[in-house]
Each structure stands twice: as C-alpha cells, then as structure tokens.
Structure 1
C-alpha cells in the first residue's frame, strides 16, 4: 500500500483501506467477525483507529454492526446486484473519465507496475492476489479523478458486489488480467472512448459470468 496515494492518510483511513481491500479480496469472508484486537495486532496499530475504521466501513456497507456479535463482514444480496452493476458502470465511468485527464507519468508507471503484478499473480493462479491488486488498480485510477464524493458512492457499491465470489470462477482471473491490460493500453495513449469501453466491458463481464454460473 505504499505510494503517493497513501502519504497523507490518517491511521483510520489507512486501516479502512486495509480492511476494504481485504474484504474485496476475500481475506475477510462474508459473515466473519472482525475482532478489533486481532486486527490492531495484524496491522501494527492501536485499537482506536481500527474501531473508527470499522465505523467508516459500516457507513459504506462493507460491515454490519451487531450488539451481540460485534462487527461482521456484510453478506452478498443477489437480488440487488443487477442495479449495482448499472450504477457501477455509470459512476466508475465518471471517475475514469475525470482521472484520465489528470494521470501523471508517475501514476501511469504505478498502473503499469500493478498490471505486471496482476499478470504474474494470474499466471501463478493466485486468486487472492489478483483480487487485491485489481482493487489497487481501480483505486489508483479513481483517486486521481479528485472526485471524493463520487468515489465514496462507488465504495458503497463495491461493498454490495460479490467480488470474492466472481474471483472463484474458473479462469476469471486470466480474463480479468486481459481486461485490465486493455484498459491500461487505452489510458497510456489517452484514448478516452477505448478506456471507457474497456472499463464497462470489464465491469459487466464478471457479473455476466457469475450470473451464468450462479444459475446452474
């Protein structure tokens, strides 16, 4: 998580990003309890930023609070996801279009490095790493848009999207890697239309594949 985009973060924001990434990657399974003391030890911080980060993730929908069980990772709701996909396409297209105008050579180099990591992880069959790096790839682009409210709503949508389950589909990580490569190629040459087309196809492809497999 090193890099320009995390330099000025508070501890709470850093922990929230760590947990958000972990939930999306599947390291913290749906329905599992998030124990503050264990998380603080894992991250190397005090309980206070962990507690505040969990409150932030509750507001986004990644985590559910329960007076008896404590904080648990939110479950996936199949019935609401079709609408979420449509909203993701709309809002993430807005972020990507704003970002492509602001991406510095240094950020583009970071995206190149992340893509290389995705391809290496996909080749090794490392699903968790692909999911983690996929998250970082999109975050790096979207944070460059400098539209924090739009990004906040996108994260709320991500909290309700079955990234971890889609990631388990056979050969999905290879296809996702190729889709990212197409996005990056368009970003490098500043081809806005091609970048938007690749992004929208990437978002819909995973969901369409999941629906086809979920129904069988």
Structure 2
C-alpha cells in the first residue's frame, strides 16, 4: 500500500470517529443521553452507519472533551453537563473569536470584505426562504471567513476545536439568536471595513456571548436539567 493510500485511510477513519463524536454530542446536549447513562456501542454504530471501532474512537474523543467517562470493564458513561459548561463553551469561543476579529480588522483585504458581504446576502436569503440548513451553513461560513482573514491559523484551529463541541443546530434553537445574527453580522463587516480592531473585537465577543443564557434557557425548557 502506498503512503498516499495509508494517509487516505487514516483520514477517512478519523472522519468516521468525528462523525460518531458529533452524533453523541448531540445526544448529550439535547438531553436524549443523560448523565449516568452508559453508551452502548451497537446502537451508536447502527445510527451513524459505522463499525464498532470508530465508535470507540469517537467516544475517546468525547472523553477528552469531558462529555463522557470511561469506566473500566463497563464502558463509557455520560458525564454531567451543566449550565456552567454551556456558558464556558460560549466564553471560550467568544474570547478566541474576538481576538481573531481584532486581527482580521488589521489584515483583511477588499476581496475578503466582498466575500463577507456575499455571504451575508446569501444568509439573509436563506433566512427569508425558511432554509434552516442554509441559515446554519452561511452563519458558519461568515465566521470562518473572518477567522481566515485574521491570518492566525493555529488560533483559528483552537477555536474550531471548541466550536464543534456545540453542534450548529443548537444555535438555531436559541430564541432570538437569528435576529441578533442579522443585526450583528453587518456591524462586524462595517467595523472590519473601517479597520476598527477594537470595535470588531467587542462586537464579535458580544455577538457570541449573547447566545449563552438563551441556550441555557432553551435546554432547560427541553428538560436538560431537573430544575428546568
């Protein structure tokens, strides 16, 4: 087998493990898998369409993130997921994204700004059409474009590892989040276009943190916590 073939197999296997991790994260954050529940390999493998090996690897990823714990001779059990955990995810995301926005304001090109305006227009059209998938995709692409414009690859990679701990669909579940996005994204573009690093940083931090308490309330209403 060639080096390229082995690399391709490794990448494919890693993606399967990531798919498993994403699936189980959503089970946990949606409350379908509760703290103390043991996670059986077979149902997860069937739901994701993979073998048992990627399931175990995906659960090990989640163990590193604190979503599950490995109990010797018994398997993986769902860890407690608290309101503070939700707020911490938003806080960490907000700190890194705000710094990337500040750096982007200092290095962004006219082509980057034009691309951001195109994404915003696509986002608005998707929202008006009731296209939930498109709304999530363009919202993600907006932030990705800002992060790339910062020219700080390692910092952006760190942010990506945090962002994926909260599945994209939960952002759409937050009451009022879409309205905030449609108000905040144009302001962020204006700050970037003006090369106003301080304002871009502040706007990005406030935009992301605005969703923390709203998501806590949404998950509580869905029965995530017993006092919800």
Which bracket does the TM-score occupy, shorter chain normalised? 0.5 to 0.7
Identify which of 98, 123, 131 aligns with 2:128: 123
Q: Which runs of 5+ in 2 are unaligned?
A: 1-6, 28-43, 69-80, 222-228
Aligned residues: 176
CA-based RMSD of the aligned residues comes to 3.8
Moved more, 149-158 or 109-118: 149-158
Secondary structure at 1:146 match in 2 = coil
Name 2:184's counterpart in structure 1. Answer: 179
- In the TM superposition, residue 34 of structure 1 has moved relative to its aligned partner by 4.1
TM-score, with structure 1 as normaliser: 0.64
Equivalent-residue separation in structure 1 for 2:98 and 2:131 (angstroms): 28
Asked whether the 8 Å contact 1:127–1:168 carries over to 2, the reply is no
**CA deviation profile, 1:155-185 (whole Å, cap 9, x unmatched):** 1111222531231234432331221111112
Structure number with bigger Rg: 2
Asked whether the 8 Å contact 1:123–1:174 carries over to 2, the reply is no
Secondary structure at 2:198 match in 1 = helix
Cα 1:174–1:122 shift into 2, 3 Å: farther
- In the TM superposition, residue 29 of structure 1 has moved relative to its aligned partner by 8.6
Equivalent-residue separation in structure 1 for 2:143 and 2:171 (angstroms): 16
Asked whether the 8 Å contact 2:25–2:167 carries over to 1, the reply is no
Q: Which runs of 5+ in 1 are unaligned?
A: 1-9, 37-50, 65-75
Moved more, 182-191 or 104-113: 182-191
Asked whether the 8 Å contact 1:166–1:207 carries over to 2, the reply is no
Name 2:93's counterpart in structure 1. Answer: 88
